Chains A and B, each alone.
Chain A
């Protein structure tokens, strides 16, 4: 297959959709739109709402833990609240966040395409997401779920509440994820603009592409696992129930076979955004482009064979544990390479410290902590002590929130002018970023200490000796909440303005910055012909897009 797959001629009536995409069509037409940008925006509002909801649950959890015993709710409520925090954040926020919202908006434009490969499928995928979200909400109000987001058997097959419904919601959401993945892979393979060879693709595309591979290959296994769990609850089939001769540990194998790759569904897009922000804001050629591109794919592949490291204390065989531990350490190496590449890219750059870059810098530090603390957990003997303690909670929050969510907000600040045609207040953005950074570390740094001192996770009550650190953590969650509140304030405020964003506020060189902000419905008047690498900041800019300048 040749690298160049599209020919330069443009078909279709040019000029018909010259208005910006935000004002093209009635408000109602958004519900049935197949425009990847509108779908990206709809996903964005949906997941931001879910982040808000999950965040409220998180604040409630932290508030309850301010003191031992009952603070604001009883144990059963607490168990439901932390379950909903996890389930909402994982299935409804983080997994769709970067690919479905920012990826949908930016990926086709960065490839020089007018849309994703299957626009109607994209719409379907959004509505499947919306359906899944609604089922999840129904499950929350009709009994709730108290299993933890991992649905471990046999607890999940025996407890009361709407477990089957919540599981079904996750099952439905999985299909949305699969369809998005299929769409992106086909788009990357087939809709690259002329001249855009594989190694001229922006690194964001490489990251999203690797993510899509995992989405397509791992999610079906989750689907079948959840289906078996639903069968277990409704028919008592017994595959996971020891009373009927089943094996509860089998569920864990099935679950983590999906859910560990899912960790990379979450982190790879975060890395992808950082790979975009760092060279653009540093005005610097990317150092180690191919190493970074291949390390994304390597992570995607190795991520399939490390699931057992969640189960060192589950009674799996020693040999299996050893293999999983070894592979877990190996998967760390591509991540380390990426970190060094980002840092070296900054070397001798011309670095702007505007909001997107502040998030990228935060990412480097927080991902540093998140990644390095993973080494403690990968070492089998140390993990025996740390498994299922707050150390694990702190570790994965540094990776999931400190890295992925921070990268997501970095990407949101980076592409916001492109998506909505408005600039936000830079000073407010910097203040919010600093508050988020301080709040995050105040919340989660003490949890490492709690965990290594032996505080188990998912505890409603705790021994008095742990109280001080819990209180510091709770205070941190308030600072974090304040930071996000300010962010919501200035972002909404910017939407009330007229379009004021220049096409290219960051002087970046990927294709999306060569068209107006916001873009027109069909993205490009003419199919762009890509001549240069995405990060050629060492030489004068040579635009690939005609007709906008």
Chain B
């Protein structure tokens, strides 16, 4: 039984995968039995009653109420049973437990990106802790996509302008494949992601360290991403115009004057201090409104911001 299932289906890696597979296998055996019946009768009748002599008259069989009722009612009962079975499992799978870990998913031609409760982001790889209910809150930035994890037996269309849920509880640690299942254009078949189901310790470590993608990026690129995603861009422009805070353009190496009258040449240490303890030195002409990013930015991200500011001449 199990070997047949493993041959037909992907690994069972979520709490409700077994339920879906049980119904799948039930329908498989049931329809196989019906198929054998149909195929056997078709072939057997065709052979047994093949024409041996031309021009014979045949028996007049037009009705058999008992037979007709049997072959109408038995399938009817069976399919109604299957309907309830399928609906129950469907309804059960679509309810998220209260303690679910919520992760935002965005589909955009042709990438999946993920945002975790602590603000961590990742692209094309989704990390989740094992045995913990997961609720994905998904939307699309352009066309329809569908988030499909075969080994979890879940799939949901991702629709622009709307949030939709996907719930599952992963039970098997390791890498799992994510596909886009709704046709979305040229690289539809390349719109994949890796789902990494980690032990809670490994998951926490990953959150701490950030996605590997961060380590692959050029520091200035990473800095630009941080500037956009962490909201730096709402106060600090990069084109020299004045915002709530000083513009980043040409600031590195410049001598800044502070509210208390002191001055300093902007260098790596000053930028680092301004991110982690912004009230320490407030540039003259600005209000002390910047919040601290202590604990919100990883070391590598701070380095990225510094590299980015250096580049803005």
Contact = CB atoms under 8 A, between A and B. Distances in A.
Are A and B part of the same complex? yes
A379 B79 CA distance: 9
B9 interface: yes
Contact of A313 (B76, B151, B155): B155
Contact of A384 (B43, B60, B90, B144): B90
A321 B90 contact: yes
Interface size grouping (class) on chain A: 35 or more
Nearest to B151: A454
A340 B155 CA distance: 36
Interface string B111-144: 0000000000000000000000000000000111
B75 A332 contact: yes
Given A351-B50, A365-B38, A456-B179, A375 B186 contact: no
A183 interface: no
A64 B19 CA distance: 36
Nearest to A374: B31
B71 A340 contact: yes
A17 interface: no
Interface string B152-181: 011111011110100000000000010111
Given A152-B183, A313-B156, A329 B79 contact: yes
B82 interface: yes
B165 to A, nearest CB: 9
Nearest to B80: A329
A347 interface: yes
B50 A79 contact: no
A4 interface: no
A365 B23 contact: no
A13 interface: no
A346 interface: yes
A449 B7 CA distance: 9
B90 A449 contact: no
A463 B154 CA distance: 19
Interface string A332-358: 110011011001101111111100010
A382 B91 CA distance: 12
Interface stretch (B51-59, B257-265, B271-279): B51-59
A516 interface: no
A381 B151 CA distance: 14
Interface stretch (A38-46, A172-180, A493-501, A532-540): A532-540
A315 to B, nearest CB: 5
A348 B59 contact: yes
A368 B90 CA distance: 26
B144 A155 contact: yes
B55 A507 contact: yes
B229 interface: no
B45 A347 contact: yes
B175 to A, nearest CB: 13
B87 A288 contact: no
A453 B9 contact: yes
Interface in A6-30: none
B24 A154 contact: no
A234 interface: no
A343 B45 contact: yes
A284 B186 CA distance: 54
Nearest to B45: A346
Interface string A367-382: 0110011011011111
A387 interface: yes
B246 to A, nearest CB: 35
Interface string A141-159: 0000010100010110011
A322 interface: yes
B252 interface: no
B38 A343 contact: yes
Interface stretch (A50-58, A217-225, A241-249, A471-479): A241-249
Given A154-B144, A368-B39, A350 B87 contact: no
Interface size grouping (class) on chain B: 35 or more
B31 A373 contact: yes
A376 B154 CA distance: 15
A75 interface: yes
Interface in A209-262: 242-243, 248-249
Given A333-B75, A454-B10, A378 B83 contact: yes
In this complex, the member of A291, A384, A458 whose beta carbon has the largest number of chain B beta carbons within 10 angstroms is A384
A289 interface: yes
Contacts of A507: 54-55
A175 to B, nearest CB: 28
A380 to B, nearest CB: 4
Given A284-B58, A313-B157, A325-B86, A452 B187 contact: no
Contacts of B183: 148, 152, 155, 457-458
A318 B94 contact: yes
A460 interface: yes
Contacts of B53: 350
B19 A381 contact: yes
A326 B180 contact: no
Interface stretch (B61-69, B235-243, B298-306): B61-69
A243 B141 CA distance: 9
B284 interface: no
Nearest to B5: A452
A248 B164 CA distance: 14
Given A365-B39, A368-B35, A380 B87 contact: yes
Contacts of B61: 284-285, 287, 344, 347-348
A538 B57 contact: yes
A473 to B, nearest CB: 16
B34 to A, nearest CB: 6
Nearest to B76: A333
Contacts of A460: 188-189
B40 to A, nearest CB: 10
A333 B70 CA distance: 12
A388 interface: yes
Contacts of B60: 285, 538-539
Contacts of A510: none
A402 B307 CA distance: 63
A154 B188 contact: no
Contacts of B59: 284-285, 348, 538
Contacts of B164: 315
B82 A375 contact: yes
Given A287-B63, A449-B8, 14 more contacts: A242-B161, A313-B157, A314-B159, A315-B156, A326-B80, A347-B49, A351-B50, A369-B35, A376-B27, A381-B23, A381-B93, A384-B90, A452-B24, A456-B148
The 4 closest A-B pairs by CB, nearest first: A242-B161, A454-B150, A379-B86, A381-B89
15 contacts: A158-B143, A242-B159, A248-B160, A248-B161, A314-B159, A322-B87, A329-B83, A350-B53, A361-B46, A379-B27, A380-B87, A383-B86, A385-B9, A456-B189, A540-B57
